[in-house]
């Protein structure tokens, strides 16, 4: 019996439904089995319930959390509130409350928020969004993550480094037809060239670094080698210098370029042996060869006036910048780096160190003369002009020079510019000794302090100059210096004082004294206790020595002229860094001074409350400490007094030697001698203290460790009748003096900002007057040594300097307005990087 199509279709639908029902039942059964297994595993696994400190938070009718914070935590930052408000919604349990962690600190609170944010985002993330990874706030964790990423990427980087050395068959990226024969890394983004394109391109760009591809590997090529039929061939390449369009009255088409003498061209990529170009007129046989002026126009500097070697001026700039960044870098080390680059790029030849150094000094001399024409003052601080608050003078004995170093009779280029002439200093010292009836070897300080001894074993044996005596202003600007030959005698700072006397200096600071009293000297003479000194400590030279002492590693092996020139150059560049960062330095000083003043005022109020004293009582204590400091110990026939005086001298000597251990000696042998002397003096001190303790009451005995550990108020100086001891008065004295000095420092800094601002404001006027002077007909006709082209170039230099001053003035105005208006967060990011050795940004605890 046949069935109709409709019946067949109906039976098929019934069968499909049965199959679907069976599949659905099978899926449901498998899900039930899986759910049962999961429930059994969950029941079997131990559940660790956290035991956090909790509080219950309720939700309102809209489902938002109702925060019931204590009053002390209601002043949380808006940022934290914003984070809390933007948290993803949390699915509440069946009850109307939820459990929340109570953080103890802001950091823990932020961590909890990040943790809860990551958890909720993982629970409720949509399929179209991926949860964002939160950066760790821990530095070591971030570094570990970076290292892991690099480690994971390293195999791929190794493969890339190896693959790029593959010399595959490539098509020239210039003409697009011939196979490539040369790779030029300086012609990127199209480095691969065929032989013909290589010749046409690098006849003009001879200083490019090229590699041949014909040998199956990248073979470095010198500029005088090119590829012909897959073989290397020699050619002549010319030094890229500017050449005139005409050398005679003939047509320019008659000029022909021919190679001249071979010279060594030194760039930051090493040495290149090239030929100087020569122009010849075929019509009249006139010739032209490049001279020193032509080299200068093309930014080259000759090693000699015959220039068998020429240097790109970029090499000099780079050496100067590297010398400032690493003062201990020697000229030989820098040239070894250039020689290595010469070999790396397939060239040969060495660079002469003597020739390079002489050319470098001559190049700097020309720059110095140009600055002199523009009336630059490299050794005058703009913030200390016209009234200079303080000058600090100290010696640096690491700047000695060996007698067996290079000897030369040549005169230093910068003699007398920064370091005073030796004959002038000697004449002044002899005058002082004759006036004071000085006996050689029996100076006042020669018997006690090695720093001030007027005869030195070192200068009599292996060295010529023994060191440098430096004068520095409050801002670390080097003002003047002289060579020491006889130790730090008093005549040296006296010479610098006489030389700087015209600058209206208020305080002249030095650290060589006839008798050093540990606390007495500080109360009477330290900058922290001098009215009007502000935070001037008198130790500003030590800030400069962090830079200058590193230069001494190389200058001790130089000739006398080379040492003078190098130190003068580095001093000028150091001062230039100070001038460039002066606005930042003064601004940060003012900020830190303001914060320190607020802190000290709080300390003063706390002391008043703690000791229940009034301001007038504190003022009486200040006068008591000053009276104690003024009272000098007189020599008597009492044995105890004599021993006390001897103890003070020995303690001061031991402390001074320990503090200057690394200043006075730069070698292990020198430091060993000082340590041996310290041990001898400690032995003497021990015996003297024992004698003294046997002669005084037990309440006034001394302990050796105590008197050497810090500042000591000697028992014979302590009062016996008052209820308040001298230590308490000294503590109050220190806080009051700190408040007064900080208040003075604020006023001083405002005055220095005003000086700096006036200097920046008047400098453009000076440059404008110079511009008018050099553009006048009188100057053009005068014998000033400058040609008409030179005068035009000088106008451009003046214009550039005016532009630089304008930028510095805008920067200073921005900083000073912000800091004086009370702004706390000042953006220093857009300014130049701060000086590495500039400690103006930090206020020492000694100054508070």
Above 60 in pLDDT, residue 754?
Answer: yes
Q: How far apart are CA 763 and CA 746, in angstroms?
A: 26
CA proximity to 629, closest of 714, 755, 747, 505: 714
Tokens of 202: 């690098």
* Residues in contact with 639: Cβ distance below 8 Å, sequence separation at least 6, in sequence order: 695
**Within this chain, do residues 215 and 92 fall inside the same structural domain, yes or no?**
no
**Within this chain, do residues 100 and 210 fall inside the same structural domain, yes or no?**
no
Tokens of 611: 């000791």
Q: How far apart are CA 743 and CA 752, in angstroms?
A: 15
In terms of pLDDT, which residue wins out, 630 or 586? Answer: 586
When pLDDT is cut at 50, 70 and 90, the band that residue 76 belongs to is very low
Tokens of 304: 């000699």
Place of tokens 């130089």: 558
How many domains is the chain built from? 4
- Per the CB < 8 A criterion, the answer to whether 805 and 798 are in contact is no
- Per the CB < 8 A criterion, the answer to whether 589 and 843 are in contact is yes
pLDDT digits over 84-136, tens only? 444 444 343 343 333 333 334 444 434 443 454 455 444 444 444 444 445 56
What pLDDT score was predicted for residue 442?
52
**Within this chain, do residues 230 and 340 fall inside the same structural domain, yes or no?**
no
DSSP letter (8 states) at residue 282: T
What pLDDT score was predicted for residue 649?
75
**Within this chain, do residues 503 and 408 fall inside the same structural domain, yes or no?**
yes
What pLDDT score was predicted for residue 629?
64
Above 50 in pLDDT, residue 636?
Answer: no
CA proximity to 808, closest of 767, 771, 765, 757: 757
Write out the residue range of the structural domain in which residue 86 sits: 65-121
- Per the CB < 8 A criterion, the answer to whether 596 and 844 are in contact is no
Q: How far apart are CA 319 and CA 652, in angstroms?
A: 44
Taken in order 721, 726, 727, 730, the sign of the CA dihedral is positive
Cα-based angle 454, 456, 461 (whole degrees, multiple of 5): 150
Of 81, 101, 121, at which residue does a domain stop?
A: 121
Judged by average pLDDT, the poorest of 128-132, 210-214, 288-292, 812-816 is 128-132
516: number of Cβ within 10 Å: 18
**Within this chain, do residues 222 and 104 fall inside the same structural domain, yes or no?**
no
**Within this chain, do residues 225 and 322 fall inside the same structural domain, yes or no?**
no
* Residues in contact with 643: Cβ distance below 8 Å, sequence separation at least 6, in sequence order: 688, 691, 692, 695
pLDDT digits over 777-834, tens only? 666 666 567 888 888 899 999 999 999 999 999 999 888 988 888 877 776 654 444 4
Task: Look at residue 356 and tell me if it is in a domain.
Answer: yes
What pLDDT score was predicted for residue 95?
37
Q: How far apart are CA 736 and CA 601, in angstroms?
A: 9
pTM, two decimal places: 0.73
Mapped onto helix, strand or coil, the DSSP state of residue 457 is coil
Q: How far apart are CA 755 and CA 752, in angstroms?
A: 5
What pLDDT score was predicted for residue 15?
58
Task: Look at residue 796 and tell me if it is in a domain.
Answer: no
Give me the residues paired with residue 271 across strands. Answer: 266
When pLDDT is cut at 50, 70 and 90, the band that residue 630 belongs to is low
Task: Look at residue 544 and tell me if it is in a domain.
Answer: yes
* Residues in contact with 415: Cβ distance below 8 Å, sequence separation at least 6, in sequence order: 421, 561, 564
**Within this chain, do residues 418 and 551 fall inside the same structural domain, yes or no?**
yes
CA proximity to 176, closest of 156, 188, 192: 192
What pLDDT score was predicted for residue 385?
86
Q: How far apart are CA 91 and CA 98, in angstroms?
A: 10
Over residues 628-643, mean pLDDT = 58
- CA 351 vs CA 273, 312, 313, 337, 338: distances in Å: 11, 13, 15, 10, 8
- Per the CB < 8 A criterion, the answer to whether 277 and 295 are in contact is no
- Per the CB < 8 A criterion, the answer to whether 473 and 427 are in contact is no
What pLDDT score was predicted for residue 525?
55
**Within this chain, do residues 365 and 406 fall inside the same structural domain, yes or no?**
no
Which stretches does DSSP call E strand in 343-416? 388-396
210-212, strands of its sheet edge to edge: 192-193, 182-184, 210-212, 219-221
pLDDT digits over 304-358, tens only? 888 899 999 999 999 999 999 999 999 999 999 999 999 999 999 999 999 999 9
**Within this chain, do residues 304 and 229 fall inside the same structural domain, yes or no?**
no
What pLDDT score was predicted for residue 487?
74
Exposure string for 743-755, b = 16+ CB within 10 A, e = fewer: ebbbebbeebbeb
pLDDT digits over 380-408, tens only? 999 998 889 999 998 888 888 888 776 66
Helices and strands: H and E segment counts in the chain: 23, 18
Q: How far apart are CA 495 and CA 424, in angstroms?
A: 9
Burial category of 103 from C-beta neighbours within 10 Å (exposed 0-12, middle 13-18, buried 19 and up): middle
Mapped onto helix, strand or coil, the DSSP state of residue 697 is coil
Which stretches does DSSP call E strand in 516-597? none
When pLDDT is cut at 50, 70 and 90, the band that residue 81 belongs to is very low
Q: How far apart are CA 353 and CA 328, in angstroms?
A: 16
Mapped onto helix, strand or coil, the DSSP state of residue 227 is strand
DSSP letter (8 states) at residue 86: T
When pLDDT is cut at 50, 70 and 90, the band that residue 303 belongs to is very high
Place of tokens 């030195």: 456
What pLDDT score was predicted for residue 444?
46
What pLDDT score was predicted for residue 670?
75
Torsions phi, psi for 829 (to 5 deg) = -70, -35
Torsions phi, psi for 794 (to 5 deg) = -65, -35
**Within this chain, do residues 221 and 344 fall inside the same structural domain, yes or no?**
no
What pLDDT score was predicted for residue 153?
95
Q: How far apart are CA 276 and CA 260, in angstroms?
A: 5
Above 50 in pLDDT, residue 181?
Answer: yes
- Per the CB < 8 A criterion, the answer to whether 457 and 444 are in contact is no
**Within this chain, do residues 361 and 423 fall inside the same structural domain, yes or no?**
no
Q: How far apart are CA 225 and CA 228, in angstroms?
A: 10
**Within this chain, do residues 216 and 259 fall inside the same structural domain, yes or no?**
no
Q: How far apart are CA 277 and CA 645, in angstroms?
A: 81
Task: Look at residue 190 and tell me if it is in a domain.
Answer: yes
What pLDDT score was predicted for residue 846?
41
Exposure string for 700-727, b = 16+ CB within 10 A, e = fewer: bebeeeebeeeebebeebeeeeeeeebe
pLDDT digits over 667-725, tens only? 777 788 888 888 888 888 888 888 888 887 777 778 777 777 766 666 665 554 455 66
Task: Look at residue 318 and tell me if it is in a domain.
Answer: yes
Place of tokens 């060579």: 483
Tokens of 725: 């001891």
What pLDDT score was predicted for residue 648?
75
pLDDT digits over 605-628, tens only? 998 888 888 888 888 888 877 776
Mean pLDDT of the chain: 78
Of 97, 121, 145, at which residue does a domain stop?
A: 121
Above 80 in pLDDT, residue 71?
Answer: no
* Residues in contact with 532: Cβ distance below 8 Å, sequence separation at least 6, in sequence order: 389, 506, 507, 744
CA proximity to 580, closest of 481, 505, 475, 500: 475
What pLDDT score was predicted for residue 432?
85
Above 50 in pLDDT, residue 79?
Answer: no
Tokens of 405: 């170093």
Exposure string for 789-801, b = 16+ CB within 10 A, e = fewer: eeeeebeebbeeb
Beta strand pairing call for 388-396 and 505-509? parallel
Burial category of 515 from C-beta neighbours within 10 Å (exposed 0-12, middle 13-18, buried 19 and up): middle
Q: How far apart are CA 21 and CA 35, in angstroms?
A: 21
What pLDDT score was predicted for residue 628?
66
pLDDT digits over 573-597, tens only? 999 999 999 999 999 999 999 999 9
Task: Give a three-class secondary structure readout of 629-668.
Answer: HHCCCCCCCCHHHHHHHHHHHHHHHHHHHHHCHHHHCCCH
CA dihedral 359→361→363→368, nearest 10 degrees, is -170
Q: How far apart are CA 629 and CA 403, in angstroms?
A: 46
When pLDDT is cut at 50, 70 and 90, the band that residue 732 belongs to is confident
When pLDDT is cut at 50, 70 and 90, the band that residue 517 belongs to is very low
Of 371, 403, 418, at which residue does a domain stop?
A: 371
Q: How far apart are CA 480 and CA 477, in angstroms?
A: 10
């Amino acid at each position: 019996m046949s069935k109709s199509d409709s019946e067949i279709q109906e039976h098929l639908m019934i069968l499909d439904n049965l199959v679907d029902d069976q599949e659905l039942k099978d899926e449901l059964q498998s899900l039930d089995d899986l759910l049962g297994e999961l429930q059994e595993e969950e029941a079997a696994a131990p559940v660790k319930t956290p035991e956090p400190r909790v509080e219950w938070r309720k939700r309102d009718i809209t489902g938002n959390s109702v925060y019931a914070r204590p009053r002390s935590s209601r002043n949380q930052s808006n940022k934290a509130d914003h984070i809390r408000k933007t948290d993803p919604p949390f699915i509440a349990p069946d009850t109307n409350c939820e459990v929340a962690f109570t953080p103890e600190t802001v950091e823990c609170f932020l961590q909890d928020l990040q943790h809860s944010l990551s958890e909720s985002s993982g629970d409720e993330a949509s399929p179209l969004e991926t949860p964002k990874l939160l950066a760790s706030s821990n530095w070591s964790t971030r570094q570990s993550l970076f290292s892991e990423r690099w480690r994971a990427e390293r195999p791929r980087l190794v493969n890339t480094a190896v693959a790029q050395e593959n010399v595959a068959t490539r098509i020239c990226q210039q003409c697009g037809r011939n196979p490539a024969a040369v790779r030029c890394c300086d012609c990127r983004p199209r480095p691969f060239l065929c032989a013909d394109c290589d010749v046409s391109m690098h006849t003009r760009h001879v200083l490019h670094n090229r590699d041949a591809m014909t040998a199956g590997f990248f073979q470095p090529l010198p500029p005088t080698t090119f590829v012909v039929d897959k073989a290397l061939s020699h050619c002549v390449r010319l030094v890229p210098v500017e050449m005139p369009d005409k050398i005679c009255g003939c047509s320019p088409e008659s000029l022909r370029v021919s190679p001249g003498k071979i010279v060594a061209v030194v760039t930051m990529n090493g040495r290149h042996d090239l030929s100087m170009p020569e122009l010849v007129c075929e019509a009249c046989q006139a010739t032209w060869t490049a001279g020193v002026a032509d080299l200068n126009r093309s930014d080259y500097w000759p090693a000699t006036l015959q220039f068998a070697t020429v240097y790109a001026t970029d090499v000099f700039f780079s050496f100067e910048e590297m010398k400032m960044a690493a003062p201990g870098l020697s000229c030989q080390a820098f040239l070894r780096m250039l020689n290595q680059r010469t070999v790396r790029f397939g060239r040969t030849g060495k660079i002469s160190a003597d020739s390079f150094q002489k050319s470098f000094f001559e190049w700097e001399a020309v720059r110095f003369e140009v600055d002199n024409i523009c009336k630059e003052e490299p050794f005058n601080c703009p913030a200390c002009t016209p009234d200079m608050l303080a000058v600090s003078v100290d010696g640096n004995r690491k700047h000695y020079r060996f007698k067996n170093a290079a000897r030369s009779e040549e005169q230093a280029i910068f003699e007398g510019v920064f370091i005073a002439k030796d004959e002038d200093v000697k004449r002044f010292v002899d005058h002082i000794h004759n006036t004071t009836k000085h006996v050689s070897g029996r100076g006042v300080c020669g018997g006690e302090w090695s720093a001030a001894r007027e005869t030195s074993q070192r200068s009599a044996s292996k060295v010529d100059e023994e060191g440098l005596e430096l004068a520095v202003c409050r801002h670390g600007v080097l003002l003047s210096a002289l060579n020491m030959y006889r130790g730090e005698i008093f005549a040296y700072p006296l010479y610098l004082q006489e030389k700087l006397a015209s600058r209206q200096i208020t305080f002249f600071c030095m650290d060589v004294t006839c008798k050093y009293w540990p606390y007495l000297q500080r109360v009477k003479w330290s900058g922290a206790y001098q009215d009007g000194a502000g935070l001037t400590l008198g130790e500003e030279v030590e800030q400069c020595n962090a830079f200058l002492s590193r230069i001494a590693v190389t200058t001790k092996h130089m000739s006398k002229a080379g040492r003078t020139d190098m130190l003068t150059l580095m001093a000028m560049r150091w001062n230039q860094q100070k001038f460039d960062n002066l606005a930042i330095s003064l601004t940060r000083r003012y900020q830190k001074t303001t914060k320190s003043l607020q802190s000290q005022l709080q300390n003063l109020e706390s002391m008043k409350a703690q000791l229940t004293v009034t301001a007038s009582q504190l003022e009486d204590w200040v006068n008591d400490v000053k009276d104690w400091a003024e009272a000098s110990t007189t020599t008597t026939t009492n044995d105890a007094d004599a021993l006390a005086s001897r103890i003070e001298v020995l303690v001061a000597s031991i402390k001074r030697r320990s503090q200057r251990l690394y200043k006075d000696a730069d070698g292990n042998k020198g430091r060993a001698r000082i340590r041996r002397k310290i041990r001898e003096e400690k032995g003497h001190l021990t015996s003297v203290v024992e004698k003294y303790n046997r002669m005084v009451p037990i309440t006034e005995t001394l302990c050796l460790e105590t008197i050497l550990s810090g500042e000591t108020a000697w028992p014979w100086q302590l009062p016996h009748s008052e209820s308040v001891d001298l230590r308490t008065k000294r503590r109050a004295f220190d806080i009051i003096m700190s408040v007064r000095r900080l208040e003075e420092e604020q006023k001083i800094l405002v005055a220095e900002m005003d000086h700096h601002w006036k200097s920046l404001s008047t400098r453009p006027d000076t440059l404008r007057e110079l511009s008018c002077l050099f553009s006048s007909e009188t100057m053009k006709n005068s014998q000033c040594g400058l040609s008409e082209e030179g005068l035009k170039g000088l106008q451009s230099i003046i214009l550039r300097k005016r532009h630089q001053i304008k930028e510095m003035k805008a920067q200073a105005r921005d900083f000073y307005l912000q800091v004086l208006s009370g702004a706390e967060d000042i953006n220093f990011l857009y300014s130049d990087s701060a000086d590495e050795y500039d400690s103006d940004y930090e206020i020492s605890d000694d100054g508070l």
